[in-house]
Chains A and B, each alone.
Chain A
């Protein structure tokens, strides 16, 4: 099976930059996607195709990918950005569609 690895938690103060990483062997060939899930809500797409931002997502959310690691960056994190963040991608043969284990972002 295929796995995407994320840190369990990241903590920053308001206004600081939060970086959440996602590592996977197929990421050099496959796009990474990022979802934000606030408590009791469905996931929301915040980054697609490594670095593209859907309409309505604040500009402070950005993404990048290099080698086997993708990174979600929240520049000037705000209290309302507290949530679980999941990366998503597929293995090289598209047989396994997987989510990372999730990262709990605390902003306080």
Chain B
């Protein structure tokens, strides 16, 4: 059974860089059938796609966050990572990683990690 687990600092100062890692277990991140994505959810609000990566390093980012986001993959560790630069209080959110099935017309996230709460505050 595939499982994903987010890890990283729970508190980041304004203007600094938010960094999170997602560790995948029970399956290979190098599978050609899947992408790997990040989704966030501010407290009390809805879900927002941040970006996705394929095992070969090719990426796709939300246009609204593209200027501040970098997603990378480490196949040797079965991990992928998120970096969000120049954070503000508006970036305070639960950050989820998820496997993305992306084939022809099919595009969805499942399963998801349990989430990591990141607070931006001085």
Total chain B interface residues with beta-carbon distance under 8 A: 21
Distance, CA A95 to CA B48, complexed state (A): 14
Q: Is A96 an interface residue (CB 8 A)?
A: yes
Could you tell me if B63 and A48 are in contact, using CB atoms closer than 8 angstroms? no
How many A residues touch B, CB cutoff 8 Å?
26
Q: How far is the CB of A76 from chain B (nearest CB, A)?
A: 24
Please determine whether B110 and A45 come into contact, CB atoms closer than 8 angstroms. Answer: yes
Which residues on A sit within 8 Å (CB–CB) of B96? 42-43
Interface stretch, picked from B24-32, B70-78, B83-91, B100-108, is B100-108
Is B108's CB under 8 angstroms from A33's CB? yes
Would you call A97 and B107 a contact (CB within 8 A)?
yes
Tell me, in angstroms, the Cα distance from A16 to B45 when the chains sit together.
Answer: 27
| Interface residue A53 (Cβ < 8 Å from any Cβ of B) | no
Q: Does A54 contact B (CB under 8 A)?
A: yes
Which one of A89, A94, A99 contacts B46 once the chains associate, using CB atoms below 8 Å? A99
A95 & B63 in contact (Cβ 8 Å cutoff): yes
Residues of chain B whose beta carbon lies under 8 Å from any beta carbon of chain A: 39, 46-49, 52, 62-64, 96, 105-115
Query: Lowest 4 CB-CB distances: which A-B pairs, in order?
Result: A99-B47, A45-B110, A97-B49, A42-B112
